[in-house]
Structure 1
Amino acid sequence: MYIVSEPKSLSDPQIQAHVKEETGSWPPGYLDFLRRVGQGTYRGWMNVQIPDPEVLKPFAEYGLWEFDADSPITEQQIGDCIAIGTTVDGDFLAVHPQTAQLIWLPRHEEYLRVISLLQAGEQDHEWPYAMVLDEIYRQVYGSSQEGVVYYDPWTGTRNHFFLQLPPGQNQLSLPELAGMCRAAFLPDQSHENPYTCSLFYQKLGGYVRFNYANRQEVAVFYEQGAQQAVTVMKQWLLSKGCRGEV
């Protein structure tokens, strides 16, 4: 798994300070993952967070989901759940300690679901919780996530800026610019699909993202101590027709 920047690992006291009582129902590798790389975003999809027993308590009164005889928990039991992650779309991943179930609380669906981890992989894998998250993605979306496996820690020192590549005659397309950037600055890792291209650089402690869906936006994410590398990258992008975003 590629780690985008220097992680902020968490100690056991830091983790347990957010949990009122110990539970034996954590997903495989979850606590070790927090100890090693801390909170962050996995593959641009799941925000891995410290256990939070408070955030879902109000949801027991909101009436957001339907409940029937097949529901894994009752609406009132939502308040007992400990949230351990959220997706970028607003779904919750939580543990229900009393039933030892891993619960998926979808933002845009009517029913909660239980996540089964029988096919999640072996415990001795270097990053077992990454395998768990991949299995959750497969169960929720019905397909495997494509591309590089990467984790973006929340360092608290990340900066960014945005540029635009305006359309025009004889102007580069965004995929062409991404290809030229890849050739000029060999990335340590990359992720590309029809909608976006991200080139990861350890010297930035971040990455350059080309928004293919938008067709114009270029974003550079970097750590505070990478200013020299950032200046070189920005000057190169400006030399290829990018402009400061207004």
Structure 2
Amino acid sequence: MMYLVSQPGPLSSAHMEAIELNSAVSFPPGYLRFMKRFGSGTYRGWMNVYSPDNEVLCPFPEYELWEHDADSPITQEQIGECIAIGHTADGDFLAVHPQTKQLLWLPRHAERIERVVVQVQETEDDSMYALLLDDIYSQVYGCGQQGAVYYEPWSETRNHRFLRLPPGTNGLTLPKLSGMFREVFPPDLVVENEFTCLLFYQEIGGYIRFNYAYGQEVAVMFEKDAAQAFVTMEQWLLSQGCVG
């Protein structure tokens, strides 16, 4: 089951109809259903998912970022014809090419464009596209993602607050502080590894991020209409020695 960080922002019916009328484009299985249900957002902190963008890759043929030969899925000129449907934080693009009907991976830090082999079939499940994204992750990185499955819809009402835990504050470390925090405020979902800890809360429509890698940063992401719940959490963090 996919956890939603906040309320989804599905595309309007008019927007969806405009996309579906473009019969020249073959979108990957589940993509249109996913957009209709959840709208644009970030999947598992990895892939930014959005409605088809036929402009962002137009100037890329001039950049000569990738090598091309007889085995390349598209030519350098055809890059500009691609329609982007997502990109990662590292700058990799996921796109479709209308004429060849291929799903393509355009890596930021590699020399070749790769054709993505779709290994999942279309179903009626609204979150089916998430399975495809997980499969793409495995193809690209050679391993599966660990941890919970979550989606962060993009929101124009999202607020943030950055705090810092100074070194030596009451002998606390960020891992210890995050453990104390979740005891006082039991989260709806936890995603934790050696680099970061995310504690998700429906009541604020967001999450608390403890940046273990940096060692000091605590970030609170919350919806504007959840200000009171945010203040309660912020005051607790400040009482433990965090500073703004």
TM-score normalised by L of structure 1: 0.95
**C-alpha spacing 1:147/1:238, structure 2 compared with 1 (3 Å):** same
3-state secondary structure, aligned to 2:22: coil
Match of 1:66? 67
1:11-26 to structure 2, matched below 5 A, reads 11-15=12-16, 17=18, 21-26=22-27
Q: Once the two structures are aligned, what percentage of the paired residues are identical? A: 60
What is residue 146 of structure 2 aligned with on the other side? 146
Q: Secondary structure at the match of 1:203?
A: helix
Letter in 2 for 1:74: T
- Separation of aligned partners in 1, 2:87 and 2:23: 21
The CA distance in 2 between the partners of 1:24 and 1:56, in whole Å, is 16
Is the 2:134–2:145 Cα contact (8 Å) retained in structure 1?
yes
Alignment of 1:30-69 (within 5 A): 30-69=31-70
Q: Deviations over 1:39-98 (max 9, x none)?
A: 000000000011011111110121111101110000001111110001011110000111
Contact persistence 1:19–1:52 (CA under 8 A): no
2:96 counterpart letter in structure 1: V
Give 1:29's aligned residue. 30
Q: How far 1:16 sits from its partner (Å)?
A: 5.1
- Over 3 Å counting, the alpha-carbon distance change for 1:51 and 1:215 in structure 2 is same
The residue number in structure 2 matching 1:187 is 187
Whole-angstrom distance in 2 between the partners of 1:133 and 1:152: 15
- Tell me, yes or no, if the aligned pair for 2:33 and 2:126 is still in contact at 8 Å: no
Distance 1:85 1:16 in 2: 20
**2: CA distance, partners of 1:220 / 1:146:** 23
Residue 97 of structure 1 corresponds to: 98
Greater shift, 186-195 or 167-176, is seen at: 167-176
Question: Per the alignment, do residues 112 and 97 of structure 1 end up closer, same or farther by CA in structure 2, a change over 3 Å counting?
Answer: same
Cα distance in 2, alignment partners of residues 193 and 33 from structure 1: 28
Structure 1 residues 223-238: aligned runs within 5 Å = 223-238=223-238
Local SS of the residue matching 2:55: coil
Kept in 2, the 8 Å contact 1:18–1:52? The answer is: no
Per the alignment, residue 114 of structure 2 pairs with 113
Counterpart of 1:86 in structure 2 is 87
Q: Is the 8 A contact 2:30 2:126 kept in 1?
A: no
Alignment root-mean-square deviation, CA: 1.6
Displacement of 1:108: 0.4
Q: Is the CA contact 1:19–1:51 (under 8 Å) kept in the aligned structure 2?
A: no
Q: CA deviation at 1:122?
A: 6.2
Return the TM-score normalized by structure 2: 0.95
| Match in the other structure for 1:4 | 5
Say if 2:170 and 2:241, in contact at 8 Å, map to a contact too. no
Describe the SS at the equivalent of 2:161: strand
Looking at structure 2, the residues matched to 169 and 93 of structure 1 have their Cα atoms a distance apart, in angstroms, of: 44
Counterpart secondary structure, 1:48: strand
Instruction: Give the Cα–Cα distance (whole angstroms) in 1 for the partners of residues 11 and 212 of structure 2.
Output: 35
Q: Report the equivalent of 2:198.
A: 198
How many residues of Structure 1 are paired with residues of Structure 2 in the alignment?
243
Range with greater deviation from structure 2 (189-198 or 121-130): 121-130
Match of 2:133 in 1: 133
Question: Unpaired runs of 5+ in structure 2?
Answer: none
SS of alignment partner, residue 183 of structure 1: helix
CA contact (8 A) 1:8 1:153 kept: yes
Long gaps (5+) in structure 1:
none
Partner of 2:171: 171
Matched, 1:161 2:161: yes
Contact 2:34–2:126 (CA under 8 A) maintained in structure 1: no
Shift of 1:15: 3.8
Deviation at 1:183, TM superposition (A): 0.8
